[in-house]
Amino acid sequence: MNAPATGLDHLRDWIGRTEVRTDHVTPTPIAALGATLDLDAVNSNPGAAVPPLWHWLYFLPLARQSTIGADGHPERGGFLPPVPLPRRMWAGGRLEFRRPLVIGADITRISRIRDVSIKTGRSGTLVFVTVDHEISDGEGVAIREEHDIVYRENPQPETPAPQPQPAPVDEAFRREIAPDPVLLFRYSALTFNGHRIHYDRPYVTEVEGYPGLIVHGPLIATLLLDLLHRNLPTAKVARFSFRAVRPVFDIHRFTVCGKPGAGGSVALWTRDHEGMLTMEASAELG
């Protein structure tokens, strides 16, 4: 439900703000992510197609060290609104892949804050920020992306934990993932993500109160599409959407699952060690 006046309404002034960034699709990040995902071989030669979601290796947040906040993120403000709530998570996204980016291309990303909404829930105040990205190369727009970010308060001891949702068990293919600290560190390095919840165990357990290091939402989404391509190697993904449901921690293995559906769709999800749903996603093949 919508929140009463919280002193955060000024954050909606950020709606409509835009940012333009440019980059060059270099081969080394592609080869490095392929190694991180334990793939036998990835084509990182000039002109090779960039797999869906791997564009997250570019347009990295190059904030100066002196501007980094206590949680490892850049200090609040700038393009994104200065939300004062302590926890920030990548909540999900929706993407349209018109055609692949290729290695060697010059690319541009135009980002626009579409919405800032303030709500209350059982855990307190929540701020949802939706950012639209349009990524182009020399031939025009290649990828459209809607990116959801959620900011939240630290939970109070008396706040009941959300009721987990059992994950489906009728997958057609699956793969078990061991999210060890090395995997998390390598992905953080590849995406220049300084958020301490992914690599700093004393911080994530003692300051933010989680039981272990948190597996990156975009890494889990990437593992889901990697599962699809391992099992349907010739499939071309036209659209992909995903939503984080429950955190995944490095202290237990988890399973990425998939099942082809009607009309060229593929349902994808992750299941934790307790059998609970942690991310749900859908791919449309084209």
171 is written with which tokens? Answer: 């997958």
Measured CA to CA, the distance from residue 96 to residue 102 in angstroms comes to 16
35 is written with which tokens? Answer: 């190694």
Q: What is the DSSP string of 118-155?
A: EEEETTEEEEEEEEEEEEEETTEEEEEEEEEEEEEPPP
**pLDDT band (50, 70, 90) for residue 169:** very high
Q: What is the pLDDT of residue 153?
A: 87
Measured CA to CA, the distance from residue 278 to residue 248 in angstroms comes to 7
138 is written with which tokens? Answer: 């020399």
Any idea what DSSP says for residue 2? Answer: B
Mean pLDDT of 142-156: 92
182 is written with which tokens? Answer: 């090395």
Convert the pLDDT of each residue in 99-126 to its tens digit. 999 999 999 999 999 999 999 877 789 9
C-alpha to C-alpha distances, 250 to 70, 104, 213, 215, nearest whole angstrom: 22, 35, 5, 7
**pLDDT band (50, 70, 90) for residue 264:** very high
C-alpha to C-alpha distances, 107 to 22, 100, 104, 193, nearest whole angstrom: 6, 12, 9, 21
Mean pLDDT of 195-206: 96
Q: What is the pLDDT of residue 154?
A: 82
% residues pLDDT > 90 (the chain): 84
CA-atom Rg of the chain in angstroms: 19
187 is written with which tokens? Answer: 């992905």
The answer on pLDDT for 284 being more than 70 is yes
All structural domains of the chain: 9-285 (3.10.129.10)
| CB neighbour class for 244 (10 Å; exposed up to 12, middle 13-18, buried from 19) | buried
Q: Which residues touch 13 (CB under 8 Å, ≥6 apart)? A: 81
Question: Do strands 106-121 and 277-285 pair parallel, antiparallel, or not at all (unpaired)?
Answer: unpaired
Measured CA to CA, the distance from residue 254 to residue 271 in angstroms comes to 6
**pLDDT band (50, 70, 90) for residue 165:** very high
The answer on pLDDT for 6 being more than 70 is no
Any idea what DSSP says for residue 53? Answer: T
Convert the pLDDT of each residue in 203-230 to its tens digit. 999 998 899 999 999 999 999 999 999 9
Choice between 22 and 160, residue whose per-residue pLDDT is larger: 22
72: closest CA among 176, 180, 216?
Answer: 216
Mean pLDDT of the chain: 93
Measured CA to CA, the distance from residue 83 to residue 202 in angstroms comes to 24
Choice between 19 and 8, residue whose per-residue pLDDT is larger: 19
Q: What is the pLDDT of residue 17?
A: 96
Q: What is the DSSP string of 147-205?
A: EEEEEEPPPPTTSPPPPP-BPP---SEEEEE---HHHHHHHHHHTT---GGGT-HHIII
Choice between 157 and 243, residue whose per-residue pLDDT is larger: 243
Angle at 278 between CA 272 and CA 280, to 5 degrees: 125
